[in-house]
Chain A
Amino acid sequence: QKEVEQDPGPLSVPEGAIVSLNCTYSNSAFQYFMWYRQYSRKGPELLMYTYSSGNKEDGRFTAQVDKSSKYISLFIRDSQPSDSATYLCAMSASGNFNKFYFGSGTKLNVKP
């Protein structure tokens, strides 16, 4: 079993839709959770970062962590064609920031 599971998609939505991207994990030691956005042939860009459980909002993006269910989500409101990219979740255990565990990435396509 992989440490982090992420549906690879592709996920195709119309412009303006609310998008929900999710990851599940198995290691209860994970405390730090990140979402990266990666455009084709580019490096990942840090979008959201959360510690432990709870919600964090930044503009159209909301990150949610449910540690009891070992489940994290990224919501994108009013999705735009420019949001079309691959979204990677990543997580690490407390005190070990040199070891990140990545999901396989979900490819999102927002149609105009």
Chain B
Amino acid sequence: GAVVSQHPSWVICKSGTSVKIECRSLDFQATTMFWYRQFPKQSLMLMATSNEGSKATYEQGVEKDKFLINHASLTLSTLTVTSAHPEDSSFYICSARDFGEDTQYFGPGTRLTVL
């Protein structure tokens, strides 16, 4: 149980374009989803937290207009990187938590490369 998927696993895009990453909880209802960013050899950096049907809460320093998060259903959240630039290249990981659960389950991550 507690499986979280992400799609795509790897995406390459041109500078200035937008990229959408999907995060799905496959066997449980994710009342809360989280988006993290991870740089090489570094730990996870929380970008934002979203509850189903509500606006996401962004961490300090994360541009909400650049990283659009939608959590429209209990099993799906999307992260859209708008007008991507090379400095946005990173490993993006989502995680999900069901109400009443006290831990998070992570997706496999999406590697974004912006040329």
Give the bracket for the number of chain A residues in contact with chain B.
Answer: 20 to 34
Q: Is the CB of B106 within 8 A of A36?
A: yes
The reply to whether B103 and A43 form a contact with Cβ atoms under 8 Å apart is: no
B105–A104 CB distance below 8 A: no
Q: Most chain-A Cβ atoms within 10 A of its Cβ — which of B41, B44, B97, B105?
A: B44
Given contacts A41-B109, A43-B93, list 7 more A-B pairs with CB under 8 A.
A36-B106, A41-B91, A42-B109, A43-B95, A44-B106, A100-B104, A102-B44
Residue in A34, A44, A107 with the greatest tally of chain B CB atoms within 10 Å: A44
Residues from chain A with a CB closer than 8 A to the CB of B46 are 100
A98 near B32: Cβ-Cβ < 8 Å: yes
The answer for the CA separation of A2 and B43 in the assembled complex, in Å, is 12
Looking at the assembled complex, report how far the CB atom of A6 sits from the nearest CB atom of chain B, in whole angstroms: 8
Binary interface profile of A, 69-112, with partner B (CB < 8 Å = 1, else 0)?
00000000000000000001000100001101011110100000
List B83-115 residues whose CB lies under 8 Å from chain A.
91, 93, 95, 97, 101-109, 111
